[in-house]
Amino acid sequence: MILYPAIDILGGKAVRLLQGEYDQETAYDDDPVDAARRWADGGGQYIHVVDLDGAKAGEPKNLETIRRITETIDVPIEVGGGLRDLAAVTAVLEAGAERVVIGTAAIRDPEFLDAVIAQHGPAKVVVSVDARGGQVSLAGWTESSGVDVADAVAGLTRRGAVRFLFTPIEVDGMMTGPNLPELSRVAAATDASVIASGGVGSLGHLRQLAAEAPKNVEGVIVGKALYEGRFTVPEALEALGAQATDE
């Protein structure tokens, strides 16, 4: 299982939010590049970056930071936040990201998702699906769509999505453990790969995911637990049964 250390960028700093709330912010690194270097040096296999400023603005706001990250480390990164049109997607990929993460726009505007896949290929796209109470949440978790998360994932799979990122909002940032029942329900709705996000606070949680998550759950995003020193990247990789990158 792949470890995705997370870097959330807000106001130019690496931060973490509690359950997606902007007023529940903890800043960890003044320069997100320092966090990226730390995770890469520890053996991280893939870095998950969220442009929180971009998510609020509806367009990328930290392209220069993304560019500096990709120029500093050899580990591939995926980037989300504010990707609402093809120009924004192209800009992030040209800044050096290996993949883009599209959330609200993929649900609200399926034709946009179709266009991104057609232009850049399905392997370049991660569709982020966030849920509260089993229903898809939109607009930075501020709106409920009324759509069941498993139904949404099944529909997006039919549109050509090959990789999903799933976050049950209730556990995000809480470090009380992943929501395995909901993760399993989402994974069962698709034959695409799924990245788990939210709730990891211990090596035991990682071992549980590695042992119990459905086979198409390819990896897990970890943020707060790494920043707060609950465990290191090498320890996390060992718990997941993964090998550190040689890069």
Annotated catalytic sites, by residue? 8, 130
Q: What CA–CA distance (Å, rounded) separates 234 from 247?
A: 14
Identify the bridge partners of residue 47 per DSSP, sorted by sequence position. 77
Q: Measured in Å, how far apart are the chain's first and last C-alpha atoms?
A: 18
Core vs surface per residue 175-193: b (16+ CB within 10 A) or e: bebbbbebbebbbebbebb
Q: What CA–CA distance (Å, rounded) separates 209 from 205?
A: 6
Cα 164 to chain centroid distance, Å, stands at: 9
* 94: DSSP letter: H
Tell me how crowded residue 67 is: count the other CB atoms within 10 A of its CB: 15
Q: Which of 198, 228, 231 lies closest to 29 in space, CA to CA? A: 228
Residues 226/237, Cβ–Cβ less than 8 Å: no
